[in-house]
Amino acid sequence: MKESKWSDEQLQALLSQMPEIKDNRDPREIYQTIEIKMGKQKKRTWILPAAAAAAALLLLFILAPNLMNWQESADKHVEIQSDQTQSSEQITSDNNSISEAKDGEADPEPLAKEEDPQEDHAQLSGDPEKESNDDISMKSVSSEASPTAVYEEDLAGKEVLTYAIPDKEAQNIVPVSVLVDDDPGRTKFALFEDTMSKLTEDAWGLEDYYPLKANLTHDQENNILTVDVPVDHPYSNSSSSELLLEKVLANIMNNLDLEKIDLRTEGEVGIEFGHYGYIDEFIPENSTGNLIYYFLYPNGADSTPFLVPLREQFNSVKDALAAMKKNQTENNLQASIPDDIDFEIEEIKDSKLIIRFNNESEIIDNASTLHAIEAILLTAKDFDFDTVKLENADVDKIGKFDLTEELKVPVAANKRDLPN
């Protein structure tokens, strides 16, 4: 075997003789394969993730509102449940003596002889559900914030009737006051009974509770109210409906200054309740503590709130006002004093309360500040103050309130109008 020595040239020659290798496929076949692959790759690279992202966004869009409300509705649910299982403890925070706060209306003082029509219009405009109802007059009315409560000057020739109306969730009892023309020939009970059927609870965002499914008779001599229900009455359907009736009757009792309420079933003495058992006369729970007012928004956060009282024990009016800054989520009630408003209780004398706002607090003329002031006034009323003076506000006037003057506490909370 000879020694072989390869030169570069030999190698190059050898390499150039390497055979040609051909791809024998049809170009159309190749092109088709490429097209398929390119299509697939496109799909893989962006169509699928894009579709997934779109689907996720859609889901988020659908679920987000529900998720946000979920916590709240879960709370409500629990609340209703506990309402049904709980009995009298619940009454500590009940509203059954709302009318204590409204003693004034039992003997209305016709101090202000002139009725302010402007006031009435403003009242209308404050009610969004009213706005949609009827009344041409409100269209011309400015959107200036209007108070929600009944004040002395509203009373001229009018009688205030306060009805305890449950909200849609049967969580709160809302004291709603309506003004009716005073009729010297009729008793307050007669007015109360007549007006019962005119209430528009649904339009107010509350439970349709009146007229009561019972015959009411008033024994004027002994000041005893007899409540006569039919056999198929709805008030013992559940423990919560029994509890509601109890609260409502307690309100009526306070409102009309009754001595006693007798219970009847189609003329027979007593009512058989599913949970309370047989009861022949109504005895209100003795309640202690004070009523402090929170906001309830049955028609959404931008509507006029109801001011709903809760009964709680407080050492001082200062503690009570501090408690009003906290939401009562278990009752679905909102704080009635904004958290950023700070104040000191400066002086308490001769049934006069002086509240001095801190410099950082922003007290401006808008609806929410107005409603906060009303909540303060109503709570002050329950602590037996007659007037409240607000100092160091940024403005002199908020809605109808002149802050340079002492403010009189309202006669009743939550004035609403009846349809004509």
Sign of the torsion formed by the C-alpha atoms of 374, 377, 379 and 381: negative
CA distance 95 to 107: 22
**Looking at 5-13, 56-64, 354-362, 365-373, which segment touches another protein (CB under 8 A)?**
5-13
Q: Shortest distance, CB of residue 51 to another protein, whole angstroms?
A: 22
13 or 63: CB nearest another protein: 13
**Looking up tokens 């709570």, which residue turns up?**
379
Q: What are 16's two structure tokens?
A: 């150039």
Q: Shortest distance, CB of residue 40 to another protein, whole angstroms?
A: 10
**Looking up tokens 């009970």, which residue turns up?**
189
Mapped onto helix, strand or coil, the DSSP state of residue 311 is: strand
Looking at 214-342, which runs of residues are DSSP E strands? 215-219, 224-229, 260-265, 268-269, 271-273, 277-279, 281-282, 290-296, 306-312
30 or 78: CB nearest another protein: 30
CA distance 320 to 348: 15
Number of residues interacting with another protein: please give it, by CB under 8 A. Answer: 27
Round the CA-based radius of gyration of the chain to a whole number and report it: 35
CA distance 110 to 356: 31
Q: Shortest distance, CB of residue 12 to another protein, whole angstroms?
A: 5
Torsion of CA 118, 123, 128, 134, to 10 degrees: -60
11 or 111: CB nearest another protein: 11
Q: Does 1 bind another protein (CB under 8 A)?
A: yes
**Looking at 9-17, 100-108, 144-152, 251-259, which segment touches another protein (CB under 8 A)?**
9-17
CA distance 46 to 43: 6
35 or 396: CB nearest another protein: 35
Residues 23-62, one symbol each (x = binds another protein by CB under 8 A, - = not), give x-x-xx-xx-xx--xx--x---------------------
Q: Is the peptide bond before 211 cis (omega within 30 degrees of 0)?
A: yes
25 or 139: CB nearest another protein: 25
34 or 59: CB nearest another protein: 34
**Looking at 2-10, 84-92, 201-209, 327-335, which segment touches another protein (CB under 8 A)?**
2-10
Q: Shortest distance, CB of residue 301 to another protein, whole angstroms?
A: 54
Binding site for another protein (CB under 8 A): 1, 4-6, 8, 11-12, 14-23, 25, 27-28, 30-31, 33-34, 37-38, 41
